[in-house]
Structure 1
Amino acid sequence: MKQCFVIPVYNHPHYLQALVQHLNGFELPIIMVNDGSEAECSQLLRQIAAENEQVELVEHEVNQGKGKAVMTGLLHAAASGFSHALQLDADGQHDWQDVQHFLDASRQNPEAMVIGQPVFDASVPKKRLYGRYATHIWVWINSLSLEIKDSMCGFRVYPLASTVNILKNAKFQPRMGFDTEILVRLKWENVPFVNVPTRVVYPENGISHFNVWRDNIGLTKAHSRLFAGMLLRLPKLLYHKVKG
Structure 2
Amino acid sequence: MRNCFVIPIYNHHETIAATVAALLPYQLPLIIVDDGSDLPTKQVLAQLAQQHSLIQLLTLAENGGKGAAVTAGLRHALQLGLSHALQIDADGQHDTKDIPAFWQLSAEQPLALISGAPLYDDSMPRSRRIGRHITHFWVHIETLSRDIKDSMLGLRVYPLTATVALLDQVKLGQRMDFDIEIMVRLYWQGVVVQFLPTKVIYPQGGRSHFNLLRDNWLISKMHTRLFFGMIWRAPKLLWRKWQRV
Q: Shorter-chain TM-score: which interval? A: over 0.9
1:175 maps to 175
Q: 1:89, 1:198 → 2: CA distance?
A: 14
- CA positional deviation for 1:221: 0.7
1:96 maps to 96
Q: 1:107, 1:116 → 2: CA distance?
A: 16
1:11 maps to 11
1:227 maps to 227
AA partner of residue 68 (structure 2): K
Partner deviation per Cα, 1:27-54 (whole Å, 9 max, x = no partner): 1100000000011101111111111100
1:146 maps to 146
In the superposition, the TM-score normalised over structure 1's length comes to: 0.98
- Using the TM superposition, name which of 5-14 and 94-103 deviates more: 94-103
Partner deviation per Cα, 1:184-213 (whole Å, 9 max, x = no partner): 001101111110100011101211000000
Q: 2:202, 2:90 → 1: CA distance?
A: 12
1:106 maps to 106
- CA positional deviation for 1:239: 2.1
- Using the TM superposition, name which of 26-35 and 40-49 deviates more: 40-49
Q: 1:123, 1:171 → 2: CA distance?
A: 34
1:196 maps to 196
Q: For this pair of structures, how many residues does the alignment match?
A: 244
Q: 2:235, 2:91 → 1: CA distance?
A: 40
Q: 1:94, 1:78 → 2: CA distance?
A: 24
AA partner of residue 21 (structure 1): A
- CA positional deviation for 1:143: 1.1
In the superposition, the TM-score normalised over structure 2's length comes to: 0.98
AA partner of residue 26 (structure 1): Y
After superposition, the CA RMSD in angstroms is: 0.8
1:46 maps to 46
2:121 maps to 121
- CA positional deviation for 1:104: 1.1
- CA positional deviation for 1:129: 0.6
- CA positional deviation for 1:93: 0.7
Q: 3-state DSSP class of the match of 1:168?
A: helix
Query: Following TM superposition, where does structure 1 have runs of at least 4 consecutive aligned residues deviating by more than 2 angstroms?
Result: none
1:65 maps to 65
2:78 maps to 78
Unaligned runs of 5+ in 1: none
Q: 1:61, 1:47 → 2: CA distance?
A: 19
Q: 1:80, 1:21 → 2: CA distance?
A: 23
AA partner of residue 20 (structure 2): V
Partner deviation per Cα, 1:120-169 (whole Å, 9 max, x = no partner): 01111111111100000111110112111110001100011111111100
Identity score, percent = 49
- Using the TM superposition, name which of 230-239 and 146-155 deviates more: 230-239
Q: 1:192, 1:145 → 2: CA distance?
A: 13
Q: 1:124, 1:152 → 2: CA distance?
A: 14
Q: 2:165, 2:200 → 1: CA distance?
A: 30
- CA positional deviation for 1:178: 0.3
Unaligned runs of 5+ in 2: none
Q: 3-state DSSP class of the match of 1:150?
A: coil
